[in-house]
Structure 1
Amino acid sequence: MKTYYVYILLCSDNTYYTGVTSNLNDRIEEHRTGKYKDSYTFSRRPIKLVYHCQFTNPNLAISLEKQVKKWSSQKKRALIDGEYDKLPNLSKKKFGTL
């Protein structure tokens, strides 16, 4: 059974990059070496792997990747730190006061 990974990288400019792959080690090495010059991480190296989780269903992995890409940095940080109880509150919209 093939394994798929959703991963988050911390870039040198303190931004996060979220991706999905079926070969985590090779994909991280591609980011580190700058294999793709037009990629988000190319000019933001060095990068550091700060989170990953694995799936056997590629559709679930892709779905999570798309979801996490839309999250705020603060919410990604909570996921990375394992602070799962904070995730629902970080999803709520903040409305201005009148």
Structure 2
Amino acid sequence: MELPYAVYILKCSNGQYYTGFTRNIKRRLKEHRNGEVRFTKNKLPFEVVHVSLFSNKKKAYDFERYLKSGSGIAFRNKRFV
């Protein structure tokens, strides 16, 4: 079974992290690599740090929002990076 929703974390060349949500992870990473995403286009190259896959859109979206919160950033730094 393929899980359609992804939450991902990128580490940019300047050390900043980007957390995103997508329905098509391959297409979205290609957009990042091609400089089509405003936040990351001046921070290439990047490293994929983590990808979580979900079958439920709301759960994926909620996890992305959590990872962008203060406690979510602490969780990211402890568990994923």
Q: What is the TM-score with the length of structure 2 in the denominator?
A: 0.85
Q: Normalized per residue, which structure has more strand?
A: 2
Worse-matched range after superposition: 27-36 or 7-16: 27-36
Q: What is the TM-score with the length of structure 1 in the denominator?
A: 0.71
Question: Is 1:78 paired with 2:78?
Answer: yes
Q: 1: distance between equivalents of 2:74 and 2:56?
A: 27
Q: 2: distance between equivalents of 1:45 and 1:74?
A: 24
1:69 Cα deviation (Å)?
A: 1.1
Q: Share of identical aligned residues, percent?
A: 33
- Greater Cα radius of gyration, structure 1 or 2: 1
Unaligned runs of 5+ in 2: none
Q: 2: distance between equivalents of 1:46 and 1:56?
A: 29
Q: 1: distance between equivalents of 2:13 and 2:73?
A: 14
- Superposition pairs for residues 62-73 of structure 1, below 5 Å? 62-71=61-70
Instruction: Tell me the matched-pair count.
Output: 79
Partner of 1:95: none
- Give the aligned CA root-mean-square deviation in angstroms: 1.8
1:40 Cα deviation (Å)?
A: 0.9
1:3 Cα deviation (Å)?
A: 1.2
Partner of 2:39: 40
Q: 2: distance between equivalents of 1:74 and 1:61?
A: 18
Unaligned runs of 5+ in 1: 82-98
1:77 Cα deviation (Å)?
A: 2.5
Q: 2: distance between equivalents of 1:21 and 1:68?
A: 14
